[in-house]
Structures are given as structure tokens and as C-alpha cells.
């Protein structure tokens, strides 16, 4: 009896294995046939499908696009590169340059940028270019309210990183599904420091923490889309002590914005997959002591808000056309 059962089980395993290997072989041959089709024949209908999916996607993009809100400081060459790139993106409606240098922009850079913008203003699209000139040099300048903004959403960006238009359009379409959320490319995380008791002490985690845990609770405003209403909330509604802290420490305006949006929505931000090209070489994040300063900011803002508003998540948005296996 026992041997009988044993044999039967063995037999079943053998057949399962056989069926499995047939499936694997079938799948492999399908892959090979498909690859051959794709690479050798390049039939028009195969190429046609790609074009069709692009056309389908483009036709669904709304007329009303996004505004570029770019923060720059004494790096005219980077500014030129960035603007030249983003002006070519189809959804871009206007460009707002946050200028906080002591000297106003030179005639030559104004001329250059106007030329670039004109070059891409065709097919009925007119890109607006504006400098927002500030007397005081404060990181809060980047979140000033923009008067007469025609779009609902701004794409806030630093002058030293570039994202391909396809990545920006993806983030824009994610934002359209979640108008209140902050949608961005650079995630960061916070957690409770358990060695310091169970409340009140939070730690700021950089990219490696996000990578290790797959969890994030902020997206940085150096590369994020958000509704323009948050600009006026930041400038007029948020406690002035937070803006003063940002000005004094020359840091953490992005964390403050993440707190503000999380407090308003009670929801996490959305991380979108995008290709990043860094065109500048130095940034404050490469200086020492950066993460301690950021941790200080988080704890300070928790005290100001009277709670920890940030919400963690593990969700990431990707372009499904680039994913083959579901």
C-alpha cells in the first residue's frame, strides 16, 4: 500500500515535470519565433502598432499642459541647456525662471532664451517665458505664487537635472489622475528613531534607504509636479516660522513642501519612474552633514505642524508600454 502510494506520487511528479518542460519549450519557441519576426522581417504592421500606440497616447493628452518652474542660481550655461531641452516637450505651456541673484539677468541670456522659446513655439503653441526676479536670496522664492498662470500644475525643477520629455509627460498624466498629489522623480523617506523613545524623533532617509526598503514618503521638489494652489498655501498659509527656518538654514524648502501637501491631503506622494540626467556637478546633497541637517528639519517641522503628516507608500508609477511582463 505504502509503496503503491509512493510510486503514484512519483509518477505524478514525473508527469508534472514533463508537462512543465513541454510548456517551457513551447514558451521558448514562441519567444524565438517572435524575436525572429521582430528583428528580421520588421513587417510594417509590427512597426504600425508602435506608431498607433504612440498616436493613441498623444491624442489623449489634454490641450492644457504644465508650467515649468525652474530654480537657478549663477549657472547660466545650465539654465540654457535646461530651457532648450524642456521647450521641446509637447505639453509645456510656460516657463517661469526663479531668479534670486543680486544682478538681474543679462540681455544676452534673455535674448538667447527668447530665441529658444520662439524656435519651439509653432503649430499654434506659444510658450510663455517669464523671469521672476527676487530681491532677497531665499529658497522660499521658488514657491512664490505665480500670477496669471494658465495651467493648473507646475513642474518644479532644479537647473542641474534633465528628464526626457517622455518621462515628464508620464508624470503629467499621473498627476492628471491625482490632482492633489505631489508627483515626482526623486523619492525620500522618513522613519521613527526607536532608540530615542517611541515618539517625536524622526530620521530622514536618502536614496539608499528608499532603495533598500522600497518605501518613500516624500518626493523632492527639485523634480516634481504639483497643483499651483500649493504655491499660495506655502507662501501665505504655512506658518511663517517654517519659511524663516528655510531661509536661515538655506535648506529643506522641499521637505516643507512635502509636509504641506501631505498635511492637506492625508495621502502619500507618487513616485514616477523617469530617466535622470545630471548636468551639473555639485549640489548641497554632496556636502557632508547633509542628512543630519535634513533630519533636524523633519523634527522641527513635525513640531511646527503639531504632528507627523507624511504618509509612506511603496507604489511606483511606470509607463506600461515599456513593460513586457505583467
Ligand X SMILES: *[C@@H]1O[C@H](CO)[C@@H](O)[C@H](O)[C@H]1NC(C)=O
Interacting residue with ligand X among 66, 175, 245, 305 (CB under 6 A): 305
> Between vectors from CA 27 to CA 26 and to CA 33, what angle results, nearest 5°?
90
Under 8 Å between Cβ of 53 and 45 = no
CB of 233 to ligand X, least distance (A): 7
Say whether 319 is catalytic: no
The DSSP code for 38 is: I
Q: Which residue has the cell 544682478?
A: 103
If the CB atoms of residues 2 and 307 are measured against ligand X, the closer one turns out to be 307
Binding positions for ligand X, 241-280, rule CB under 6 A: 263-264
If the CB atoms of residues 186 and 238 are measured against ligand X, the closer one turns out to be 238
The DSSP code for 272 is: E
Cα 143 from Cα 261, distance rounded (Å): 13
CB of 88 to ligand X, least distance (A): 37
CB of 33 to ligand X, least distance (A): 58
CB of 217 to ligand X, least distance (A): 16
Residue 48 sits in the site that holds ligand X (CB under 6 A): no
Residue 200 sits in the site that holds ligand X (CB under 6 A): no
If the CB atoms of residues 264 and 279 are measured against ligand X, the closer one turns out to be 264
Cell numbers describing residue 92:
509645456
Question: What residues form DSSP beta bridges with 204?
Answer: 190
CB of 278 to ligand X, least distance (A): 33
CB of 107 to ligand X, least distance (A): 41
If the CB atoms of residues 201 and 263 are measured against ligand X, the closer one turns out to be 263
Q: Give the closest residue to 184 by CA, choosing from 213, 210, 148.
A: 210
CA atoms lying within 13 Å on the CB side of residue 187? 26
**With contacts defined by CB under 6 A, how many residues of the chain interact with ligand X?**
6
Q: Give the closest residue to 137 by CA, choosing from 253, 222, 270, 14.
A: 253
Q: Give the closest residue to 75 by CA, choosing from 235, 256, 278.
A: 278
If the CB atoms of residues 263 and 291 are measured against ligand X, the closer one turns out to be 263
If the CB atoms of residues 87 and 238 are measured against ligand X, the closer one turns out to be 238
Cα 163 from Cα 185, distance rounded (Å): 9
Question: What residues form DSSP beta bridges with 69?
Answer: 96, 156
Instruction: Exactly one of 158, 159, 160, 254 is catalytic; name it.
Output: 254
Instruction: Count Cβ atoms below 10 Å from residue 123 Cβ, excluding itself.
Output: 6
CB of 300 to ligand X, least distance (A): 12
Cα 309 to its chain centre, rounded Å, is 20
Q: At what angle do helices 290-305 and 240-249 cross, to 10 degrees?
A: 170
If the CB atoms of residues 134 and 263 are measured against ligand X, the closer one turns out to be 263
The number of residues making up the chain comes to: 326
Measured distance between the N- and C-terminal CA atoms of the chain, rounded to whole angstroms: 45
Cα 250 from Cα 244, distance rounded (Å): 10
Interacting residue with ligand X among 20, 90, 104, 239 (CB under 6 A): 239
Interacting residue with ligand X among 231, 238, 246, 270 (CB under 6 A): 238
Specify the stretch interacting with ligand X by CB under 6 A; choose among 28-36, 94-102, 210-218, 235-243: 235-243
Specify the stretch interacting with ligand X by CB under 6 A; choose among 123-131, 180-188, 202-210, 232-240: 232-240
Specify the stretch interacting with ligand X by CB under 6 A; choose among 48-56, 97-105, 234-242, 313-321: 234-242
- Which residues are at the interface with ligand X (CB under 6 A)? 237-239, 263-264, 305
Q: Could you give the residue numbers annotated as active site?
A: 254
Amino acid at each position: 500500500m505504502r509503496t503503491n502510494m509512493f510510486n503514484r506520487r512519483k509518477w505524478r511528479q514525473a508527469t508534472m515535470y514533463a508537462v512543465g518542460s513541454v510548456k517551457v519549450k513551447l514558451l521558448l519557441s514562441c519567444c524565438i519565433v517572435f524575436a525572429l519576426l521582430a528583428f528580421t522581417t520588421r513587417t510594417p504592421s509590427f512597426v504600425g502598432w508602435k506608431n498607433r500606440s504612440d498616436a493613441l497616447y498623444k491624442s489623449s493628452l489634454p490641450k492644457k499642459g504644465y508650467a515649468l518652474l525652474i530654480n537657478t542660481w549663477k549657472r547660466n550655461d545650465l539654465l540654457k541647456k535646461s530651457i532648450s531641452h524642456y521647450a521641446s516637450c509637447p505639453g509645456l505651456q510656460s516657463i517661469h525662471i526663479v531668479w534670486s541673484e543680486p544682478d538681474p539677468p543679462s540681455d544676452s541670456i534673455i535674448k538667447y532664451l527668447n530665441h529658444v522659446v520662439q524656435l519651439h513655439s509653432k503649430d499654434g503653441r506659444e510658450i510663455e517665458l517669464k523671469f521672476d526676479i527676487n530681491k532677497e536670496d531665499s529658497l522660499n522664492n521658488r514657491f512664490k505664487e505665480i500670477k496669471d498662470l494658465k495651467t493648473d500644475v507646475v513642474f518644479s525643477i532644479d537647473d542641474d537635472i534633465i528628464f526626457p520629455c517622455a518621462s515628464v509627460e508620464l508624470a503629467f498624466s499621473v498627476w492628471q489622475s491625482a490632482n492633489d498629489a505631489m508627483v515626482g522623480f526623486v523619492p525620500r523617506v522618513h522613519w521613527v528613531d526607536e532608540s530615542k523613545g517611541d515618539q517625536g524623533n524622526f530620521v530622514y532617509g536618502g536614496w539608499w534607504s528608499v532603495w533598500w526598503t522600497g518605501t518613500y514618503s516624500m518626493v523632492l521638489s527639485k523634480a516634481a509636479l504639483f497643483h499651483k494652489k500649493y504655491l499660495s498655501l506655502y507662501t501665505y498659509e504655512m506658518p511663517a516660522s517654517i519659511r524663516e527656518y528655510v531661509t536661515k538654514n538655506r535648506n529643506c524648502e522641499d521637505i516643507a513642501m512635502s509636509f504641506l501637501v501631505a498635511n492637506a491631503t492625508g495621502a502619500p506622494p507618487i513616485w514616477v519612474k523617469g530617466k535622470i540626467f545630471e548636468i551639473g556637478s555639485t549640489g548641497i546633497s554632496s556636502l557632508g552633514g547633509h542628512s543630519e541637517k535634513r533630519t533636524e528639519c523633519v523634527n522641527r517641522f513635525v513640531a511646527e505642524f503639531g504632528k507627523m503628516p507624511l504618509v509612506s507608500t511603496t507604489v511606483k508609477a511606470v509607463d506600461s508600454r515599456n513593460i513586457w511582463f505583467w
